[in-house]
């Protein structure tokens, strides 16, 4: 597994190193030791999947508030998606900035999302399946989000029309950079 930096403090792009032969290949998708060498102490507590039947399904931008902030490792096993994260850590040099990357069954990349980051995606193909490894249990009382089209963040989505978005995701809070927005008190790892 190869760990690449991203423009956001603590967030990493994970690339598999397939060992191939005539049967196919074998690759490690998670290694606590390799992640630790890159300053990531990821403790798996839940693993989830999401299946999206249609292209242009947008989910996000989700996070959990302290003390239940979570880290995620997100992988697309079928189809393709544009994955986006936002750094909400007030003490971070990349506070309020976003990063997006295409994850697909073809490129087999994963995205490590640190604590204190919002996460979301839009599907680029029909029948897209995503796997999440998560470091915290889902805690509905601490669930939160930021609007996918918040002008303070200004995410450059591949497309903004004809999106399928839940009513819940359309009603998240607006981010206010001047007032400090939605603050994370728990620092990131990495």
Distance CA 88, CA 97 (A): 8
Q: Which of 30, 131, 132, 142 is an active site residue? A: 132
Q: Which of 62, 82, 119, 188 is an active site residue? A: 62
Full 3-state SS string of 38-78? CCCCCCCCEEEEEEECCCCEEEEEEEECCCCCCCEEEEEEE
**Integer angstrom CA distances of residue 82 from 126, 128, 134, 153:** 13, 11, 19, 16
Closest CA to 107 of 13, 32, 33, 40: 13
Distance CA 12, CA 171 (A): 29
Query: For residues 167 and 145, is the Cβ–Cβ distance under 8 A?
Result: no
Partners of 63 in the β-ladder: 144
Active site annotation includes 25: no
Query: For residues 61 and 172, is the Cβ–Cβ distance under 8 A?
Result: yes
Distance CA 56, CA 123 (A): 5
Active site annotation includes 132: yes
Catalytic residues: 62, 132
């Amino acid at each position: 597994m190869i760990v690449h930096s991203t423009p956001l403090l603590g967030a990493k792009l994970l690339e598999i190193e397939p060992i191939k032969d005539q049967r196919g290949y074998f690759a490690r998708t998670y290694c606590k030791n390799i992640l630790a060498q890159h300053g990531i102490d990821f403790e798996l507590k839940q693993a989830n999947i999401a299946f999206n039947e249609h292209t242009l399904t947008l989910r996000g931008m989700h996070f959990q508030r302290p003390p239940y902030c979570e880290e995620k490792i997100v992988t697309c096993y079928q189809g393709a998606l544009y994955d986006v994260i936002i750094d909400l850590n007030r003490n971070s040099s990349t506070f309020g900035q976003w990063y997006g990357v295409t994850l697909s069954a073809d490129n087999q990349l994963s995205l490590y999302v640190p604590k204190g980051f919002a996460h979301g995606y839009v599907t680029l193909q029909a029948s897209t399946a995503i796997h999440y490894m998560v470091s915290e249990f889902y805690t509905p009382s601490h669930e939160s989000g930021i609007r996918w089209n918040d002008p303070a963040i200004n995410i450059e989505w591949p497309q903004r029309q004809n999106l399928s978005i839940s009513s819940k995701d359309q009603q998240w809070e607006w981010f206010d950079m001047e007032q400090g927005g939605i603050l994370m008190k728990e620092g990131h790892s990495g």
